[in-house]
Structure 1
Amino acid sequence: MMQEGGDATRESIRSPYDRRIVGEMPVASARDVEEAIVAAQRGFDVMRKLPRFVRADILQRASDILRTRKEEAARLISSEAGKPMFDSRGEVSRAIFNLSNAASEARSFSGEEIPLDMDAGIFQYQTTGEGGARINLDGADADKLRAGARRIGIARRFPIGPILAIAPFNFPLNLVLHKVAPALAAGNSVVLKPAPQTPLTSVLLADILREAGLPDGALSVVHCPVPLAEQMVRDERFEMVTFTGSAKVGWHIKAIAGRKRVALELGGNAAVIVCADADLELAASRCVRGGVVYGGQYCIGVQRILAEQAIHEEFMSLLVRKTAACKVGDPSQEDIDVGPVIDQGSADRIQQWIDAAKEDGASVLLGGSSANTVVQPTVLSNTRSGMKIEDEEVFGPVLTVNPFATFEEAVRRANSTKYGLQGGMFTNDLRRAFQALENWDVGGLMVNDVPIYRIDNMPFGGWKESGIGREGTRYAMQEMTEIKHLMINYN
């Protein structure tokens, strides 16, 4: 499952916190990439013929094995992604469920019966009597018509073929599984290109799946340079490419992918609306959790907060106090909330955006500084459209908070972005919740919670520049299968 030629070069994978070496990873060559694709073709021929229960049993065994190796996986994620241990353990727990849920879906995922006797006029047009004579709907031919309508349609779903999965660094196990698990559950094979910063977790997953009985060629891990990754995106032997990452890279992938299917889970700059009737303690706690923990490196992380004028000052005070209480430091320590961002370039960019917002009139209520790859949890006010910190995806521990006068104004401002992944709002007024659902173009709206809420079986995906397609096991399986329709005349 690990594609590596005998003369492969190796790359040191380093912790983003202190630059210590976490492990070594072979770098795939063009020959390795070709071998992976050929292996995926062979693997698909095996996977597509496996009974449902076999695929399900493999996935369930993998879930059970991962449970026994939970601490090992969590420490690896923390080391190579810089994720605090609490969140690393949470990711592994989600991955255990993700595999088990994929096993369940492998058993139950199916097509449907298509009714073919819904309209008499269409049936008369499609069929004729003996010698080509038309059937009389109202006369003696009525019984013949009823007998002739004994047709059944069955729409069955079949796996489409080898799938190229390109994964991000921020959830190096569970976001990988959002691609790999449904693909295998449906009977496809996968070539996985993990994020360059976090390939070791993908190798661990591949080892677990191999131990669980996954056939050779069903999953290959390819750690390769960008030109070879683009070559795979263009390769017509793949039937689909599924990508999670930045909008810029995602839309480039779509442009070069050719005829194959493309699923894109891209960026966001999620907003949260806090209404005057909300539980402010809950709203502030969840906004901190969703905005700065793990360095804010969530595509659905809280970035923009809009608080109703009547409670704006009170909420802002709570938000700053709770953000200031976050512990910052070495992610391998048990009580740390905020560790490093993934690399120095990301830390520098986030700092530049904060500084630019300050120069443009934003007020720093907390934080605003960085040291090496650690960006201090930051709260800004007086931000507005036109600032990168408002318009783009910061992907860092930065929150903006501003007041709103009317709910309609809040929804308009929350929606005034090129992204549309998920949003959150805190209110006890269901009318407002449904008003927001109608007018806020996001793939998921969380009421009395923040946008980072995600259970792994729910549909997940975005509007606008946040992507196309849906993840969540069953929904991803629909993307990764094709329908064949069977009609049987059993009269």
Structure 2
Amino acid sequence: MKQTQLWIGDTWIPGASTVTLHSPYTGDPIAEIGYASVEQAEQAIEVAAAAFKSFYKVPAYTRAEILRKVASAMEKRHEELARLIAKESAKPIQAARGEIDRTIQTYLFAAEAARDNRGETIPMDAAPHGENHLAYTQRKPLGVVTAITPFNFPMNLVAHKVGPAIAAGNTIVLKPAEQTPLSSLILAELFQQSGLPAGVLNIIPGSGAELGEILTTHPKVAFITFTGSPRVGKLIRAQAGLRRVTLELGSNSPLLIDEGFSPDELEKIADETTNGSFNYDGQVCISIQRVYVHKNIYDGFVERMVQRAEKLKIGDPLAEDTNISALINTAAADRLKKWVEHAVSKGAVVQTGGTFEGNVMAPTILTNVSPDAELNTEEAFGPIITITPFETWSEAIDMANRSKFGLNSGAFTKDIERALQAAEKLESGGVLINQIPTFRVDQMPYGGVKESGSGREGIRYAMEEMMDIKLVVLRMNVYQP
């Protein structure tokens, strides 16, 4: 069985310990993963700090070319990388291929952003005593970025941290999710072959509980970027001190569907809602979880969703026709089973699904779910949605906002006033009109409010988060009367 190592300073180093990685679908062992110790994590940070002293001087066109070469290498190894994702995360192969497509685009966007780092001029004479001064800003890299990434998009969400860090001229220490280290470790080879200088990218699989503190408190860490649970995000925020932090945390994305759509249009909305609810088993940060439907079309829409959910194919993630596969681990399946049972005990009706076979959960739709049930208040991160009727648009917005999260919201309506009302009043980092909240393209700003986090991803926006603004002021005509 393959045994992996740590990537520190362009060198493979044995981990302080090893942990067996198992397939979420079959339970079979995949590899022995070398885990970093706290001392090795500190070593990676020191190496990254030393590399920053020269890397920040590397010209933008060179950084852009490195990122373009990585994108090109990924294109050539597309199927290999997709199958790697499917194997270690149980992501259905079709979805895994889609992730590789997006990852390639993400690195290309990062290459473009590297070439387009710019400041602005400041109109100093807009204020008294500002005349005869020329001022402009520059964006400068911060230094060492530590990145802690999740399992659900093990290549693209990594790219959303590694790409902008390198584009900005920072160095990086990457700790991938415990379940998906292989998708990150392969980046060592891709970036080395693409000409990235030694020490700029360091990859240290390991326990988040063990390594989290050193990655967030080491004095040479300048920026922390994390995607994961609100609980861990709050801990990172508390530990980070004055360091900058981007946190992309939980969500239970709402979708509002107004009346006024034709039967054919509702069929298309149901298709998109099915994809946004059940793609990769709902293990997507902006997966649809709560659907609010106007009472006049409610029954018909529930029927459409049930029909579609029951047609989804459950099976091996490497099978071409699989739509639904295993949840990431047994704990996730056990949690969702309890939440379904709790909702039913409070009056919820299971329209379809609600069954489990090992870590595999059938696509599940519940109605009449209590507003305070976990399935309406917490992040499910599984193939399950609740559908609730509403009478007025204001009521739908109020129900959607009855959440501690606020990442993306979606609203389908033909009424421009209602569309604008949704855009103004929905409490989320992104409001998507006539689009599902699961929609994302990789150059758009992405992040949340409330317990969904702080800061923004999306390559240019993430790059700006990872840089300082430096002001330069020149006093003119100093010696002239």
Identify the residue that residue 245 of structure 1 maps to in structure 2. 228
| 1:306-385 mapped onto 2 (5 Å cutoff) | 306-385=292-371
Q: Distance in 2 between the 1:30 and 1:263 partners?
A: 22
> Is residue 224 from structure 1 mapped to residue 206 from structure 2 by the alignment?
yes
The answer to whether the 8 Å contact 1:242/1:263 transfers is: yes
> Is residue 70 from structure 1 mapped to residue 78 from structure 2 by the alignment?
yes
Which AA in structure 1 matches 2:334? D
The answer to whether the 8 Å contact 2:286/2:407 transfers is: yes
The answer to whether the 8 Å contact 1:46/1:215 transfers is: no
Which AA in structure 1 matches 2:126? M
Deviation at 1:384, TM superposition (A): 2.2
Aligned with residue 172 of structure 2, among 190, 204, 214: 190
Aligned with residue 134 of structure 2, among 136, 146, 152: 152
Query: Residues 314 and 6 of structure 1: is their aligned pair in 2 closer, same or farther, counting only changes over 3 Å?
Result: closer
Q: Which moved more, 1:27-36 or 1:370-379?
A: 27-36
Deviation at 1:11, TM superposition (A): 2.2
Which AA in structure 1 matches 2:231? K
Q: Distance in 1 between the 2:157 and 2:37 partners?
A: 25
> Is residue 61 from structure 1 mapped to residue 61 from structure 2 by the alignment?
no
Q: Secondary structure at the match of 2:179?
A: coil
Q: Distance in 1 between the 2:289 and 2:14 partners?
A: 46
Deviation at 1:444, TM superposition (A): 0.7
Q: Distance in 2 between the 1:194 and 1:57 partners?
A: 25
Which AA in structure 1 matches 2:346? D
Q: Deviations over 1:100-145 (max 9, x none)?
A: 11000100121111111124xx12xx6xxxxxxxxxxxxxxxxxxx
Identify the residue that residue 174 of structure 1 maps to in structure 2. 156
Identify the residue that residue 44 of structure 1 maps to in structure 2. 52
- The count of residues paired between Structure 1 and Structure 2 equals 465
Q: Which moved more, 1:249-258 or 1:164-173?
A: 249-258
Deviation at 1:163, TM superposition (A): 0.7
Which AA in structure 2 matches 1:202? S
Q: Deviations over 1:229-255 (max 9, x none)?
A: 222212121011110001111111111
Q: Distance in 2 between the 1:196 and 1:258 partners?
A: 26
Aligned with residue 417 of structure 2, among 431, 434, 437: 431
Which AA in structure 1 matches 2:162? V
Which AA in structure 2 matches 1:268? S
Greater than 6 Å deviation, 4+ residue runs: none
> Is residue 88 from structure 1 mapped to residue 96 from structure 2 by the alignment?
yes
Which AA in structure 1 matches 2:47? A
Identify the residue that residue 17 of structure 1 maps to in structure 2. 25
Q: Which moved more, 1:228-237 or 1:170-179?
A: 228-237
Q: Which moved more, 1:391-400 or 1:202-211?
A: 202-211
Identify the residue that residue 244 of structure 2 maps to in structure 1. 261
Identify the residue that residue 478 of structure 1 maps to in structure 2. 464
Q: Which moved more, 1:202-211 or 1:331-340?
A: 202-211
Deviation at 1:7, TM superposition (A): 6.5
Deviation at 1:490, TM superposition (A): 3.8
Aligned with residue 460 of structure 1, among 422, 432, 446: 446
The answer to whether the 8 Å contact 1:364/1:381 transfers is: yes
The answer to whether the 8 Å contact 1:193/1:229 transfers is: no
Q: Secondary structure at the match of 2:30?
A: strand
Aligned with residue 273 of structure 1, among 239, 245, 256: 256
Structure 2 alignment gaps of length 5 or more? 1-5
Deviation at 1:228, TM superposition (A): 2.2
Q: Distance in 1 between the 2:39 and 2:303 partners?
A: 58
Q: Distance in 1 between the 2:126 and 2:401 partners?
A: 42
Q: Which moved more, 1:41-50 or 1:461-470?
A: 41-50
TM-score scaled by length of structure 1? 0.93
Point out the structure with max Rg over C-alpha: 1
Aligned with residue 446 of structure 1, among 432, 441, 447: 432
Q: Distance in 2 between the 1:295 and 1:389 partners?
A: 15
> Is residue 112 from structure 1 mapped to residue 112 from structure 2 by the alignment?
no
Q: Which moved more, 1:171-180 or 1:426-435?
A: 426-435
Q: Distance in 1 between the 2:213 and 2:133 partners?
A: 47
Q: Distance in 2 between the 1:407 and 1:459 partners?
A: 27
Q: Distance in 1 between the 2:188 and 2:386 partners?
A: 40
The answer to whether the 8 Å contact 1:294/1:340 transfers is: no
Q: Distance in 1 between the 2:380 and 2:30 partners?
A: 27
Which AA in structure 2 matches 1:217? G
The answer to whether the 8 Å contact 1:285/1:322 transfers is: yes
Query: Residues 346 and 466 of structure 1: is their aligned pair in 2 closer, same or farther, counting only changes over 3 Å?
Result: same
Aligned with residue 100 of structure 1, among 100, 105, 108: 108
Identify the residue that residue 200 of structure 1 maps to in structure 2. 182
Q: Distance in 1 between the 2:40 and 2:311 partners?
A: 48
Q: Deviations over 1:419-459 (max 9, x none)?
A: 00001111122221110111111111111221110000000
The answer to whether the 8 Å contact 1:328/1:338 transfers is: yes
TM-score scaled by length of structure 2? 0.95
The answer to whether the 8 Å contact 1:290/1:302 transfers is: yes
The answer to whether the 8 Å contact 1:47/1:184 transfers is: no
Q: Distance in 2 between the 1:364 and 1:251 partners?
A: 34
Q: Distance in 2 between the 1:248 and 1:6 partners?
A: 31
The answer to whether the 8 Å contact 2:86/2:92 transfers is: yes
Identity, in percent, stands at 41
Q: Which moved more, 1:438-447 or 1:405-414?
A: 438-447
> Is residue 212 from structure 1 mapped to residue 194 from structure 2 by the alignment?
yes
Cα RMSD of the aligned pairs, angstroms, is 1.2
The answer to whether the 8 Å contact 1:102/1:182 transfers is: yes
Identify the residue that residue 2 of structure 1 maps to in structure 2. 7
Query: Residues 6 and 289 of structure 1: is their aligned pair in 2 closer, same or farther, counting only changes over 3 Å?
Result: closer
Which AA in structure 2 matches 1:160? L
Identify the residue that residue 3 of structure 2 maps to in structure 1. none
Identify the residue that residue 132 of structure 1 maps to in structure 2. none
Q: Which moved more, 1:10-19 or 1:175-184?
A: 10-19
